[in-house]
């Protein structure tokens, strides 16, 4: 069973690799990632449900652009941070057990995976060489952290996102990774991207209760982000 604190740390490390930031450093109650040292902006990824630590940081941090991420309920985070912070949209921290699959793409498209030195970049391009769908995968221990998933608007709901994720899942297994991790941004109406529900690989929203009791996979564990 997946440990939620371990999963959160794995996501933070993989995200920093994919984005080319400085590595996360341990702080009391979580991790810190420096985004722009010249402006003193950073992201703080806290231990799940540690509202007291969130409240303490909310009072201490005053630099505009600072962000706090934590797994838990939106109302609890609003109560902890209160004045001076703005809530972002909800992101659900999701996982999948990688399995081999067939990435189906139209004959006119070209699919490939390249290593850009930090992460694997999977792309599907049309006959003109324009990118139809793409995503990144960065290794973090046994986890493959998915990042920057994009599908061209005209090609959405055609299986392109599912295909590029299948490609990366196959490569992840070849690299010895076992579990995918991704907090997809919500689409219209607050739902998760269509490739999540349509994929043959079963992406699941994670929560500590779900992991400990082995019950329903749909209980929510959400990354909440605020900016000062």
Q: Convert the pLDDT of each residue in 110-140 to its tens digit.
A: 999 999 888 999 999 999 999 999 999 999 9
b/e 68-80 (16+ beta carbons within 10 angstroms → b): bbbbbbeeebeeb
CA angle at residue 134 from 3 to 16, to 5 degrees? Answer: 45
DSSP lists the bridge partners of residue 57 as none
Q: Convert the pLDDT of each residue in 201-212 to its tens digit.
A: 566 766 433 333
Residue 216 has pLDDT above 70, yes or no: no
Residue 113 lies in a domain: yes
CB neighbours of residue 41 within 10 Å:
17
Q: Convert the pLDDT of each residue in 169-190 to its tens digit.
A: 999 999 999 999 988 776 544 4
CB neighbours of residue 99 within 10 Å:
12
Using only C-alpha atoms, the chain has a radius of gyration, in whole angstroms, of: 18
| Residue 181 or 191, more confident | 181
Residue 216 lies in a domain: no
Q: With beta carbons less than 8 A apart as the criterion, state whether 68 and 89 touch.
A: no
Same structural domain, 196 and 102: yes
Listed residues 45, 62, 93: the one ending a domain: 93
Same structural domain, 122 and 47: no
The total number of structural domains in the chain stands at 2
Residue 175 lies in a domain: yes
Same structural domain, 71 and 118: no
Residue 221 lies in a domain: no
CA angle at residue 222 from 221 to 228, to 5 degrees? Answer: 145
pTM for the model stands at 0.82
- If you average pLDDT over residues 153-168, what whole number do you get? 89
| Residue 220 or 40, more confident | 40
Closest Cα partner for 132 from 167, 106, 98, 169? 106
Least confident interval from 6-20, 47-61, 70-84, 91-105: 70-84
Same structural domain, 54 and 148: no
Q: With beta carbons less than 8 A apart as the criterion, state whether 46 and 72 touch.
A: no
- If you average pLDDT over residues 51-69, what whole number do you get? 89
Q: Convert the pLDDT of each residue in 26-44 to its tens digit.
A: 999 999 999 877 677 889 9
Closest Cα partner for 34 from 73, 67, 72, 83? 67
| Residue 213 or 183, more confident | 183
Strand ranges (DSSP E) for the chain?
25-27, 30-36, 41-46, 67-71, 86-87, 91-92, 94-97, 110-115, 120-125, 131-140, 143-151, 179-182, 204-205, 222-227
């Amino acid at each position: 069973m997946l440990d939620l604190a371990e999963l959160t740390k794995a996501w933070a490390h993989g995200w920093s690799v994919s984005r080319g930031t400085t590595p996360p450093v341990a702080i009391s109650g979580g991790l810190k990632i420096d985004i722009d040292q010249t402006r003193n902006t950073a992201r703080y990824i806290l231990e799940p449900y540690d509202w007291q630590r969130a409240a303490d940081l909310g009072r201490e941090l005053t630099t505009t652009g600072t962000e706090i991420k934590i797994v838990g309920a939106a109302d609890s985070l609003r109560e902890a941070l209160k004045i001076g912070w703005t809530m972002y949209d909800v992101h659900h921290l999701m996982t999948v057990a990688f399995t081999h699959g067939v990435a189906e793409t139209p004959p006119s498209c070209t699919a490939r995976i390249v290593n850009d030195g930090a992460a694997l970049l999977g792309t599907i391009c049309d006959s003109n060489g324009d990118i139809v769908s793409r995503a990144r995968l960065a290794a973090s221990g046994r986890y493959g952290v998915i990042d920057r998933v994009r599908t061209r608007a005209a090609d959405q709901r055609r299986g392109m996102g599912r295909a590029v994720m299948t490609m990366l899942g196959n490569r992840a297994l070849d690299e010895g990774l076992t579990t995918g991790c991704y907090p997809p941004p919500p689409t219209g109406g607050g739902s998760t991207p269509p490739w999540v529900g349509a994929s043959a690989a079963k992406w699941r929203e994670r929560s500590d209760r779900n992991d400990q009791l082995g019950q329903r996979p749909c209980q929510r564990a959400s990354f909440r982000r605020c900016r000062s």
